[in-house]
Chain A
Amino acid sequence: MGVDVQRPWPPEPVPWQGRRVPHLQPAGSPSPPRGFLDAASGEPLHPAARAAFEAALDAGWADPGRLYGAARRARALLDGARESVARGLGCRADEVRFAASGTQAVHHGVAGLAAGRHRVGRHVVGSAVEHAAALHALAAATDAAAGPTLVPVDTLGRVDPAAFAAALRPDTALACLQSANHEVGTVQPVPAVAAACRAAGVPLLVDAAQSVGRAAVPADWSVLAASAHKWGGPPGVGVLAVRTGTRWRLPGPGPDPSDGRLPGFTDLPAALAAAVALEAVAAAAPAEDARLRALADRVRERVPATVPDVQVVGDPDDRLPHIVTFSCLYVDGEALITELDALGFAASSGSSCTSSTLEPSHVLVAMGAVSHGNVRVSLPRGVRADDVERFLAVLPEVVARVRDRLGVTGL
């Protein structure tokens, strides 16, 4: 299983010069709104992405499939964006397609593998803590009665590679594993699972939505999906990368343009802005991630020290730099999030009362963690240390106030 899949991080930047592509200007660092602690849901637009977006509105409006000057400029921008993202992912430019969202990338990634391997069978495997987009795609790709095989996780939220390997069968069409968990930050053992999939001849889709732009993404995937607004790109840009030689077929009506697009007119300014944002955050990643990791460590340490009856969940060490999640006993998550919002802090929750379905987070349930009173803090790039300190200062009072209201203090 000792496959070397680590690549240099950050990747070398793509030389934009000479391709009629807006240069990557030093456009400033991200400066998220005060109190914004929900980066895992999506970051504000990176200043470099804004500059690239505006430039591409003028330079990249034409149809890249046509043969006149403006079209060739659009084509050059699309090619450049593709090359840049490919560099960030460690793959070839012609393996990258831009999708309309991370969810669409996951859906097309799974459905395309299922279509490409329908003769093998319809069995699919994933971890129990995949993003809802992947769970829905897996369910749609397999027999409704049997459903996908979902491999359990331990109390840290991590799958056991041996259990994952044991779930692969001769009729397994595809497997799916996130690079790291979106709710608790735990990094998944992608290299070991990828090795098991390769040994079994099963293509692996890696949902790298939370990792791209923050950490080296393991290279050993057949299909990779990512989402630009998680790294400071604009919303409405997903990335779907399919390794050459993978049996993947465009789901739905074609034809497959095979030129970086899915069928339809790609939002080229947004794709370019996504690529420029990825270069910018990748260049800053080692230093910024170390800073965020230290801030997240401080949250991990201070919350249980200052708030009674709290369970901090997720791996304390092998995790994404920016995510910390905890559950406060006897409190409803909605009340916590609302109180925090009133004080100017934006965080999210996996508690059932905060979900549209009124179901608790399947991630917390799979980990055996308390799902009520849940708060996910995810630090945006550029977050001020002062904001984290202010959050830590108000949290004990907020929890105490909600507990008082429910009459559960001292329970």
Chain B
Amino acid sequence: MTLAVPGADLVVDARGLVCPRPVVELARALPTVPVGAVLAVVADDPAAAGDVPAWCRLRQQEYVGPRTTPDGPAFLVRRLS
């Protein structure tokens, strides 16, 4: 099943994965989208809400923010480099 998150060019389904896997999937997927594109990580792991923005700060990517979707919490990241 492909998840859709409004505003995201690519969605990574990290549901059921526990820390650090959602961030690992984010780090793997981000280079596959063009600079300026937005990627959404859908993750139900409670650590993702803090770890995705923390990773963005470390990696100088833009954390767009969290979204509530029918499939679970999503975290949006814009590729800056």
Point out residues on A near B: beta carbons under 8 Å.
Answer: 311, 329-332, 351-353, 358-360, 364-365, 368-373, 406, 408, 411
Asked if residues A411 and B27 are in contact (CB atoms below 8 Å), the reply is yes
B54 engages A369 (CB within 8 Å): yes
Do B19 and A368 touch (CB < 8 A)?
Answer: no
Residues of chain B having any CB pair with chain A under 8 Å: 18-20, 23-24, 27-28, 45-47, 49-51, 53-55, 57-58
In the complex the two chains form, is A371's CB within 8 Å of B24's CB? no
Q: List 22 A-B contacts (CB under 8 A).
A: A329-B20, A329-B58, A331-B20, A351-B47, A352-B19, A352-B46, A352-B47, A359-B47, A360-B46, A360-B47, A360-B51, A368-B50, A370-B51, A370-B54, A370-B55, A370-B58, A371-B50, A372-B23, A373-B20, A406-B24, A408-B24, A411-B27
Q: Contact at A364–B23, with CB atoms within 8 Å?
A: no
Q: Which residues from A are CB-within-8-Å of B19?
A: 332, 351-353, 360, 371-372
Query: Is there contact, CB below 8 Å, between A330 and B20?
Result: yes
With A329-B27, A330-B20, A365-B50 already in contact, 14 other A-B pairs whose C-beta atoms are closer than 8 Å: A331-B20, A352-B19, A353-B18, A360-B46, A360-B51, A370-B54, A371-B50, A371-B54, A372-B23, A372-B51, A373-B20, A406-B24, A408-B24, A411-B27
Residue of B nearest to A332 (CB): B20
Q: Measured between C-beta atoms, what is the minimum distance from B75 to chain A in Å? A: 14
On chain B, the residues within 8 Å of A358 by CB distance are 18, 46
Contact B27 A359 (CB under 8 A): no
- CB of B51 within 8 A of CB of A371, answer yes
User: Given A330-B27, A365-B50, A411-B27, A311–B58 Cβ distance below 8 Å?
Assistant: yes
Q: Which residues of A sit under 8 angstroms from B50, Cβ to Cβ? A: 360, 364-365, 368, 371
Contact, CB under 8 Å: A371 / B47: yes
- Shortest distance in angstroms between B51's beta carbon and chain A's nearest beta carbon? 6
Q: Residue among B23, B28, B53, B55 with the most chain A CB within 10 A? A: B23
Question: CA separation between A364 and B20, bound complex, in Å?
Answer: 14
A351 to B45, CA, bound (A): 12
Q: List residues of chain A with CB within 8 A of the CB of B58.
A: 311, 329, 370
User: A332 — which chain B residues lie within 8 A by C-beta?
Assistant: 18-20
A361 CA / B55 CA spacing, docked (Å) = 16
B72 shortest CB reach to chain A, Å: 16
* Chain A nearest Cβ from B20, distance in angstroms: 4
Nearest-Cβ distance from residue B73 to partner chain A, whole angstroms: 14
Question: Does A372 contact B20, Cβ atoms closer than 8 Å?
Answer: yes
CA A190 to CA B24, docked complex, whole Å: 39
* Cα A364 to Cα B47 with chains together (Å): 10
A61 to chain B, nearest CB (A): 49
In the complex, chain B residues whose CB is within 8 Å of the CB of A370: 23, 51, 54-55, 58
Q: A330, B23: Cβ atoms under 8 Å?
A: yes
Q: How far is the CA of A372 from the CA of B17 in the complex (A)?
A: 13
Chain A residue contacts of B49, Cβ below 8 A: 365
B24, B53, B54, most chain A CB atoms within 10 A: B54
User: What CA separation (Å) do A347 and B58 show in the bound complex?
Assistant: 24
Known contacts A352-B47, A411-B27, A411-B28; is-contact A368 B54 (Cβ 8 Å) = yes
CB B60 to nearest CB in A, in angstroms, measures 13
In the complex, what residues of B have CB within 8 A of residue A371's CB? 19, 47, 50-51, 54
A368 to B54, CA, bound (A): 6
Q: Which residues of B contact A406 (CB under 8 A)?
A: 20, 24
Among residues of A, the one whose C-beta sits closest to the C-beta of B52 is: A370
Cα distance A373–B27 in the bound complex, in angstroms: 15
Task: Identify the closest chain A residue to B28 (Cβ).
Answer: A411
